[in-house]
Structure 1
């Protein structure tokens, strides 16, 4: 078997969890996070200012209009400066991302705690701004490597999986496949996006010294939950509802991600990455 996972016990290179909002977080709320008590982010001691540029087209003139949103990133960094854990608050999104995945229960407990604390502080700062939850997102990126110049992708992916186009098994060493679908929930729906990227060299964010001429296979599964009910960031009642929704939906997304990975991969690779372990 020529394919190997990015880590000894699993293939997860990046895991991310986010709360999407109906409008950008105001700069004074970002400042409140920066200047406020640091107890809630003791595990994220580093701080960097950041920004995103939102490009929209003026419907009357057709000219592009740029909006710049300032934000902040709190992180725990490795000696090389890369972030093991990071919270970014910029534009209409609060996102926790880790490149140091261990076990699901530990990772989600930490990520959920960071998200809820950050949302609570922003909710207090924006009490009169009608800030609402537009989405909850979970992203998992699994990475596999091979040194074979012409790998047999049937050693990694199941030929019977109907989410994979049959052509990928004859397309050569470099290709990309994408598909998406919706799942209905009692209150809202989940957009699933599956991206599989196969290229030579190392994918962005890869750690460690590995040959640059190898082939990297990145399997990225995005799940975006859009609630049917109105959820505000108002203190107490609103935040309790958001916390309950996070604790309900994100574990469901994790379970579905594991189900999807089982459908995609052959049994030998499943065993290598311990996909059948409960947590």
Structure 2
């Protein structure tokens, strides 16, 4: 039996770009931001805006003293593209100060990057008149699925998991496991924060139970280390993409790199 990437030719399950702002952004301003996406959503096959709601608390004073009452309040919005089975495959969202773009149909970097800039750039420009961007992050979610019994699924066949990352005893019996690592490193635009999580998971794939390993690789630029703006979507993201690939390649066996067709783009 063997490990296989989630898709034929690549392992990417989804990709997400987030732009985080720290100010408490007013609801009216949030609604104005949605207008930028609304104006072009039909060109990107996105559905209509859906309001995102969360719970708030209202303090009411009555004859027996103060009483906290939970309320539902708007906290943002989302535009989504869905398949006929209602699975969400693409979304642009703004929630609690974070603007995000996420897609589950990634193909190549160039069209993905072009779409991110087209959808988010003017929204970020408008947000920047209200507050400076604090964090720009790029996250890749990859998955490898084992074609056989979970207790035979030795991840060392695809990952360079030496004893510094995970003890052999944790792998030999086919147990579930988790690795988290992160660090700051220099870049041409200031320090980048790199995070990587590896999770062995049991689930269902193609209607059958299977063991898989999910890999999240995140590269993050912060305003404390570099100047962030709407131009960062064009200038910084390509460097973050390249670094994400390098970090992923660093934990993959050579055969795995070939199996997923990892290219320089």
TM-score scaled by structure 2? Answer: 0.83
What CA distance in whole angstroms lies between the structure 2 residues aligned with 1:268 and 1:157? 10
Decide which moves more: 151-160 or 255-264.
Answer: 151-160
Partner of 2:83: 78
Query: Among 76, 87, 94, which residue is 1:89 paired with?
Result: 94
Partner of 1:226: 222
Partner of 1:253: 240
What CA distance in whole angstroms lies between the structure 1 residues aligned with 2:56 and 2:155? 38
Query: Among 118, 122, 127, which residue is 1:117 paired with?
Result: 122
- Residue 243 (1) aligns with residue 239 (2): no
Larger radius of gyration: 2
Partner of 1:170: 172
1:67-120 Cα distance to aligned partner (Å, 9 max, x none): 966100011111122222101101111000001101111111101221112223
2:144–2:212 Cα contact (<8 Å) kept: yes
Cα deviation, residue 184, structure 1: 2.5
2:91–2:102 Cα contact (<8 Å) kept: yes
1:173–1:199 Cα contact (<8 Å) kept: no
Decide which moves more: 246-255 or 31-40.
Answer: 31-40
Over 3 Å counting, the alpha-carbon distance change for 1:252 and 1:187 in structure 2 is closer
- Residue 216 (1) aligns with residue 221 (2): no
Aligned length: 248
What CA distance in whole angstroms lies between the structure 2 residues aligned with 1:264 and 1:112? 30
Cα deviation, residue 244, structure 1: 2.5
1:189-204 pair list within 5 angstroms: 189-202=191-204
- Residue 49 (1) aligns with residue 51 (2): yes
Instruction: Say which SS state the counterpart of residue 49 (structure 2) adopts.
Output: strand
Partner of 1:237: none
RMSD between aligned residues: 2.8
Over 3 Å counting, the alpha-carbon distance change for 1:184 and 1:161 in structure 2 is farther
1:12-27 pair list within 5 angstroms: 12-27=12-27
1:133-172 pair list within 5 angstroms: 133-146=133-146, 147-150=148-151, 151-159=153-161, 164-167=165-168, 168-170=170-172, 172=174
Q: Structure 2: which 5+ runs fail to align?
A: 58-70
What CA distance in whole angstroms lies between the structure 2 residues aligned with 1:68 and 1:270? 46
1:133–1:230 Cα contact (<8 Å) kept: no
- Residue 9 (1) aligns with residue 9 (2): yes
Over 3 Å counting, the alpha-carbon distance change for 1:243 and 1:272 in structure 2 is same
1:55-70 pair list within 5 angstroms: 70=75
Cα deviation, residue 25, structure 1: 3.1
